[in-house]
Chains A and B, each alone.
Chain A
Amino acid sequence: MKIFSLFLDRLGKSVLFYVEELGKIVALFFSTLFWAVRPPLKLKNIIKQMEFVGVKSIFVVVLTGGFTGMVMALQSYYGFRLFSAESMVGSTVALGMTRELGPVLTSLMVTARAGSAMAAELGTMRVTEQIDALYVMAANPIKHLIVPRIIASILMVPLLTVVSDFVGILGGYLVGVGLLNINEGVFVKNITRIVDIDDIMNGLVKAACFGLILSLIGCYKGFNTRGGAEGVGKATTEAVVLASISILVSDYFLTAIMF
C-alpha cells in the first residue's frame, strides 16, 4: 500500500512538472509572438540566424536526404519485385520523401545541429549574465535572442526540406535507374503521375511547424538554464531529446489532420 501511494506521489509530481513545463513553453511562444510584431524588426539578427540554421545545414541535409532516397529505392525494389511492380519504386521514394522523410529527417538534423546550438548558446549567455546584461541595458532578450532564432527556423526548415526532397528523389533515381535498371521513363512518369503538389506542400507545412517546435524548445531550454557548465550541458541534451520527441509525436497528429 505504501509503495502504491509512493508511486502515485511520483507520478503526480512528474505529471505536474511536465504540464508546468508545457505551460511555460506556450507562454514563451506567446511572448515571442508579441515581441515579433513590435518594431523594429532585428533584420540583421534574423539574417545571421538564417545563415546559421539554413545555409550551414545544407551539407548534412543533402547527405541524409540523398542516402535516405537511395536506401528507400533499394528497399522498396526488393519488395515490389515480388509482384513485378518495380515501376512503382520512383513514386514510392518521391511520396515517402515529400510527405514524410524529407520534413522529419531535415528537422531532426536541424535539431541536432542548430537546436542544440541555440540551447547551448543561450544557456551560456544565461550563466555568464549576458542575458541579465541585456535586461540592464533596457533591451528585451526575447526580442534580441529568441525572435530571430524562431523566425529563421520557421523560414529555413521548409527550404531545407525542399532540398532534402529533391536530393532524396535524385538519390532514388540514381539507385533505381542507374543501379537496378528500372526503365527511366516509367520511373519518372510514375513520379509525376502519383505525386501531387499537395503532397509536397503539406510536407512543407509540417516542416515549418517542426522549425517552430525545435527552435522554441531550444530557446526555452537555453533561456532557463541554471547552474554553470553542467547546467548548459543538461539544457542542451534536454533540448535535443524533447525537440526530437515533440517532432515525431506532432508529426503523427499533423499527418492525421492534413492527409
Chain B
Amino acid sequence: MNPMIKLIDVHKSFGTQKVLDGINLEIEAGKTTVIIGKSGGGKSVLLKHIIGLLKPDRGEIWVDGVNITKLNDRELNEVRKKFGMLFQEAALFDSMTVGENVAFPLREHTKKSEKEIQEIVADRLRAVGLAGVENKMPSELSGGMKKRVGLARALAMHPQIVLFDEPTTGLDPVMTEAINQLIIETQKNFSLTCVVISHDIDSIFKIGHKIAMLYEGKIIEYGTPEEIKNSRNPVLLQFLSGSTEGPMKIM
C-alpha cells in the first residue's frame, strides 16, 4: 500500500475543547477514502489539517512524502497546488462569473494563454456536466450546480488529491445521486486520491474504497465498505442505523 496522506498522532484543541485526540490515519493514493462521524465532531477540522489551513498542536501530517506541519507559507503553497478542494457551500467567488472562478487558479499559477485557459475551463465544465455556463454568476445557480462548478474549479489545475467537504449535504436525492456519480467518475478518470467527509450513509458506501469513522477525536474504525458494514463496534452500529439509543452522546 502506498499512502498519499499520512496522519500521525495528530492533536488539536480549541480553547478547552479537544477536537482531535491522537488521529492516526493513512490515506491510499488513487482511492477514495470517506471519513464519517457526527456533525460537529471534527471532520472539517481534520480536512483543514490535511490541506494546512490549520496546524496541529501536536503530531505530524505527511502529504506525498512531505511533512507539511514543518513548512513555511511559501513551501505550503507549493504543496497546496497538488490539492483541489470542494467546499461545503462550494465557496465560489461571487464577484466573478463561473468561467472566471474556474479559470482563477490557472490565471494565478500558470502562464497559459487566454485561449488555452478558456479551453481548460470549457473542458472542466463539460466534465461536471455544465457546458456553456461560463458567463453566469454564481448567484444564478442552484446549490447542486454551484457544487459542480466548485468541483470544476477544484479540478482546474489537474490536482493529485481532491478533498470534499460534505459534497451531498443539502441536496435533493436526485442531485445527491448525480454528485455521487460525478465523484466516482472524476476519481476514476483523473485517477485522483479523494478524501470525502460525509454523514450521508447511502453515499459513503457507493463512493468509498475505504471508510474511516471519527469519534471523540479518534479514528475508531477503518476499513473497506464490507468491513465497515460487518463491524460490531457499538458506536459505528448506532451511527449507521441512525438510532438515538447507544453509546454515542447526542449532545
Instruction: Say yes or no: is A3 at the interface (Cβ < 8 Å to chain B).
Output: no
Q: Are A137 and B87 in contact (CB under 8 A)?
A: no
Task: Bits for B74-90, please: 1 = Cβ < 8 Å to A, else 0.
Answer: 00011011010101110
Distance (whole angstroms) from the CB of B203 to the closest CB of chain A? 21
Cβ of A246 under 8 Å from chain B: no
Instruction: Across the interface, name the chain A residue whose C-beta is closest to B85.
Output: A136
* A129-B91, A130-B91 known; A136 vs B51 contact (CB < 8 Å): yes
Determine if B105 is an interface residue (Cβ-Cβ < 8 Å).
Answer: yes
The B83-137 residues at the A interface (CB cut-off 8 A) are: 83, 85, 87-89, 91-95, 104-105, 108-109
> Given the interface contacts A130-B93, A132-B53, A133-B93, does A138 sit within 8 Å of B81 by beta carbon?
yes
Report Cα–Cα, A126/B48, bound state, in Å.
15
Q: Is the CB of B91 within 8 A of A137?
A: no
By the criterion CB–CB under 8 Å, are B104 and A137 in contact? yes
A128 CA to B88 CA in the complex, in Å? Answer: 9
Pair A130/B94 contact, Cβ less than 8 Å: yes
Contact A137 B93 (CB under 8 A): no
Query: Once the chains bind, are A132 and B87 in contact (CB under 8 Å)?
Result: yes
Question: B89 touching A138 by the CB < 8 A rule?
Answer: no
Residues of A within 8 A of B48 (CB): 132
Q: Provide the residues of chain B in CB contact with A136, threshold 8 Å.
A: 51, 53, 80, 83, 85
A135 at interface, CB cutoff 8 A: yes
Residues of A in contact (CB 8 Å), total 12
Residues of A within 8 A of B51 (CB): 136
- Select from chain A the residue with minimum beta-carbon distance to B157: A137
A133–B104 CA distance with the chains assembled, in angstroms? 11
Report whether B87 and A138 are in contact in the complex, using a CB–CB cutoff of 8 Å. no
Chain B 154-183 per-residue mask, 1 if CB under 8 angstroms from chain A, else 0: 000000000000000000000000000000
Q: Give Cα A135–Cα B53 distance, bound, in whole angstroms.
A: 7
Chain B residues near A128: list those with CB within 8 A. Answer: 89, 91, 94
B34-50 CB contact bits vs A (8 Å, 1 = yes)?
A: 00000000000000100
A132 to B53, CA, bound (A): 8
Cα–Cα, bound, A200→B109 (Å): 45
Contacts A130-B93, A130-B94, A132-B53; is A137 near B108 (CB within 8 Å)?
A: yes
For residue A139, CB closer than 8 A to chain B, the reply is yes
Q: A129-B89, A132-B87, A133-B87 are in contact. Are A138 and B108 (CB under 8 A)?
A: yes
Which residue of the partner chain B has the closest CB to A137? B105
A54 to B170, CA, bound (A): 40
Interface residues of A, Cβ cutoff 8 Å to B? 121, 125, 128-130, 132-133, 135-139
Q: List 5 A-B contacts (CB under 8 A).
A: A133-B91, A137-B80, A138-B78, A138-B81, A139-B108
4 A-B pairs with least C-beta separation:
A138-B77, A129-B91, A133-B91, A138-B80
Further 4 A-B residue pairs, CB within 8 A, beyond A125-B93, A139-B108 = A130-B93, A136-B80, A138-B81, A138-B109
